[in-house]
Amino acid sequence: MPKIFRLDPHVAILVAAGEVVERPASVAKELMENSIDAGAGSVTIEIMAGAMTYIRVTDNGCGIAPDDVQTAFLRHATSKLTCAEGLDAINTLGFRGEALAAIAAVSRVELLTREPCAREGISISLEAGVVTDISPAGCPEGTTVIIRDLFFNTPARLRFTKSDRTESSGVASIVIRCALSHPEVSVRFIRDGKIDFHTPGDSRVDSCIYSLFGREFSAGLIKAEVSDDTLSVTGYVSTPAATRGNRSYQYFFVNGRPVRSITLQAALERAYNNLLPAGRFPACVLYITINPGNVDVNVHPAKTEVKFASDKQVFDSVYYATLGALDSNSGTPEHLTGSSDGLHSMQVMQSGKTYSSISSGSSEIRSGSSPDSRRLTPDAPLNPPVVSQEILHSSGIGNRPFHIIGETFNTYIVVESQNSVWFIDKHAAHERIHFDALRAEAYEAMSQVLITPVICRHDPEDISLLLENSELLDKLGFSVESFGDDAVAVRRIPTEINIGDTEPVLSEICAQLKNNEAAEAVRHDSILRIVACKAAIKAGRLSGIQETEALAARVLSGEISHCPHGRPVSYVITKSTLDRSFKRI
Ligand code: ADP
Ligand code: MG
C-alpha cells in the first residue's frame, strides 16, 4: 500500500495560505503593497474590531481589467513577473502572485475595480477561494478590496489569533511602516470608524513622520545621511535626549521595504555608545538604498528579513550616518579616528569642555564589526577620584601588569596599569561575565523550583506573549503556566534571580519580547541580558581580591569591553592626560 499521496489541492492551498497570511496585519500588508504596486497616490485602510471581521483597502491605482479579475485570485498569477530573468530585477513589492489567492482561501472577499480609462468597473466575490459572484459594477477608479471573517474556515488558525487590541495594533504597525516606506503615497488609516492618521503623500519623509508620530517625536530627530556609489543611507535618528524605553520606534527600510535586521539595529545603537543610559534606545527612520544584487529580499513570502551580501558595508554605512548626525547635532567633534594599537588618548578643547577618548583599541578591533573610530565623552573631573582603600594588591597577566588601587563610590574598581588609570564599572563588567557564561554553548539553565508557585499578574497581551514563548523561557530556566486570563503561575526561575524579583523580571522580559518579534536568537539574548543583569545584582559585592583581580584582568585584556546593554565597562585616563591637566607637560 503506498503511503505517500499528493495533497488535495484544497488542503495544499490552505497550507500555502498559512505561510502568507499569518495575521490580519499580513493581509493589510499584502493589500497595501498591491495598491502601491498599482501606482496609487492614495490608499485608505479601514479595520473594524481588530481586523478579524473587516478590513477594507481602497486605492486610486491602475485597477484590474475585467478579463484579469478572476485570474488575479489564482495561485502564482501575477502581472509583475513574466520570466525567470525578471527575478533578478524586481522593483515591485509583490511578484509571487500568491497574496490574493492565499487571502481569498481563508476569508470572504469582495473586490471592486475599475481601470481609469474604463467606463464601468467589475465586482467579484469569493468565499473560501470559490467565486460566488462576478458582475459589472459602477465604482470609482482604482481598486477596493474588502476582507471579511478572516480564517472563518480554518478554526485552528483562528484559535491562534490574539485579542482585538493586539491584532489591530499589529495592523497599525504594518500600516505605519508602509506609509513611511512610501512618503509619496497618502496613507489614511481608520480604526473602528476613527481616523488614526493620515499622511500627506507629498514625498517628504519629515511631513510623513510628523503626521504619524506628532510634533514632539519629530522635534527629537536629526537628519542622517551618507552615500557612496553602491549604497546610501538617509533619514532621521533621535537625539541622545529623545530616546525611548524600547526599540519599537526603530524603523529601517531597504530599497523601499520595511525590514528587521540585527545588523542595522546594532549599527545604529553602536553609534550611541556611551551616550545613552541603560534601558534607553534610539529611535530612527532610516532608508538604505543598495544595489538590488547585493541584497536578498526573497527569503520568506511574508517575512521582513533581508540578507546583505556584505553585512560589514551596511553596518559601517548606518553607523557613520548616525554618528555624523549625532556629531552635527552636538556641534562638537565627538569622535576622531585614531591609531588602533593599544590605549589611545586624545583631547579636544571646544566650547570650554574637555573631551577625551576612552576606548581601548584592542577591544574595538577585536569586535571585528566596529569601524575604527574613537568616541569621545566628557572627561572626568579634574579632582582626583575618591579612593576608599590604599593599594591592595598588584598583579600581572601576561605582559600587562596592573595594581588594584581600590574601589570608589562603591561602584568603580580603580586599577593602575602602565601609564593609565582604569575605572571599571563593577556591575557592568559583572553583567557581561554572567551574560557570556549564560550564553556559552555548554550552559544549561540552572533553575530553582519554587515550593509555592509565584502568581504574576500582567495584562492579557503580556500573558499571551509569555505563554507563546514558554518553550524558550523553559530553556532559560523559567517555567511559566497559564493561570487565568491575567496571570501566570511561575514554578521555576533561574538560580540567578531572587524570588521577589520574579514579577518585575517577567515584565522586563515581556517588554523585550514585544520588541523582538522576529528571530528566536534575538529574543533568547534579550532574556539572557535581563537574567545577567539580575545575576550581577544578586551577586552584589565582589567576594574578594581574587575575584576583583580576575575581573580587572578580563577588562584590561580587552576581553570585556561593553556590558550586554552596550554600556562601556571601563573608563581610562592616561597619565599624560593627568599631567597635562596639572600643567606638568
Ligand atoms: P502579486 O502582487 O505578487 O503579483 P497578488 O496575488 O497580490 O500577487 O496580486 C495578483 C495580481 O492582481 C497582481 O499582480 C496585480 O496585477 C493584481 N492586483 C492585485 N491588487 C491590485 C490592486 N490594488 N490594483 C491593481 N491590480 C491589483
Ligand atoms: Mg501582491
Query: Does residue 261 surpass a pLDDT of 50?
Result: yes
Q: What separation in Å is there between the alpha carbon of 189 and the centre of ligand 2?
A: 19
Residues in Cβ contact with 28 at an 8 Å cutoff, skipping those fewer than 6 apart? 45, 47, 51, 55, 57, 171, 174, 175
Query: Does residue 337 surpass a pLDDT of 60?
Result: no
| Residue 478: closest CA among 465, 462, 466, 460 | 466
Q: Is 62 in the pocket of ligand 1 (CB under 6 A)?
A: yes
Closest ligand to Cα 86:
1
- Residue 247: the pLDDT is 87
322 touches 237 (CB < 8 A):
yes
Rounded to two decimals, the pTM is 0.60
Query: Does residue 93 surpass a pLDDT of 80?
Result: no
74 touches 96 (CB < 8 A):
no
pLDDT band for position 392 (cuts 50, 70, 90): very low
- Residue 298: the pLDDT is 62
Instruction: Kindly report, residue by residue over 105-159, the tens digit of the pLDDT.
Output: 999 999 999 999 999 999 999 999 999 999 999 999 999 999 999 999 888 778 7
- Residue 513: the pLDDT is 81
Q: What separation in Å is there between the alpha carbon of 173 and the centre of ligand 2?
A: 19
Q: Is 79 in the pocket of ligand 1 (CB under 6 A)?
A: yes
Q: What separation in Å is there between the alpha carbon of 190 and the centre of ligand 2?
A: 22
- Residue 515: the pLDDT is 67
Q: What separation in Å is there between the alpha carbon of 106 and the centre of ligand 1?
A: 17
- Residue 335: the pLDDT is 29
Kindly report the average pLDDT of the chain as a whole number.
Answer: 79
- Residue 441: the pLDDT is 55
Q: Is 104 in the pocket of ligand 1 (CB under 6 A)?
A: no
Residues in Cβ contact with 122 at an 8 Å cutoff, skipping those fewer than 6 apart? 64, 66, 69, 112, 113, 114, 134, 135, 136, 137
Structural domains of the chain, with CATH: 9-198 (3.30.565.10), 205-328 (3.30.230.10), 389-432+540-581 (3.30.1540.20), 447-495+497-535 (3.30.1370.100)
Instruction: Kindly report, residue by residue over 292-314, the tens digit of the pLDDT.
Output: 888 876 655 555 778 888 888 89
Query: Does residue 291 surpass a pLDDT of 70?
Result: yes
- Residue 92: the pLDDT is 75
- Residue 178: the pLDDT is 95
* Lowest mean per-residue pLDDT among 207-216, 438-447, 500-509: 438-447
* Lowest mean per-residue pLDDT among 23-32, 100-109, 406-415, 427-436: 427-436
d(CA 28, CA 48): 12
pLDDT band for position 39 (cuts 50, 70, 90): very high
Query: Does residue 240 surpass a pLDDT of 80?
Result: yes
- Residue 378: the pLDDT is 30
| Residue 571: closest CA among 413, 350, 370 | 413
Closest ligand to Cα 81:
1
| 517 against 403, higher pLDDT | 403
Nearest CA to ligand 1 atom 16: 79
Q: What separation in Å is there between the alpha carbon of 75 and the centre of ligand 1?
A: 11
Q: What separation in Å is there between the alpha carbon of 111 and the centre of ligand 1?
A: 11
Instruction: Kindly report, residue by residue over 558-573, the tens digit of the pLDDT.
Output: 778 787 777 788 999 9
Nearest CA to ligand 1 atom 13: 78
* Lowest mean per-residue pLDDT among 175-179, 378-382, 517-521: 378-382
Q: Is 97 in the pocket of ligand 1 (CB under 6 A)?
A: yes
| Alpha-carbon distances, residue 404 vs 342, 392, 413, 428, 544 (angstroms) | 20, 6, 8, 18, 12
- H helices present in 197-284, as ranges: 205-213, 215-219, 262-271
Ligand 1 atom closest to Cα of residue 35? 23
Query: Does residue 250 surpass a pLDDT of 90?
Result: yes
- The Cβ of residue 394 has, within 10 Å, a number of other Cβ atoms equal to 12
- Residue 356: the pLDDT is 27
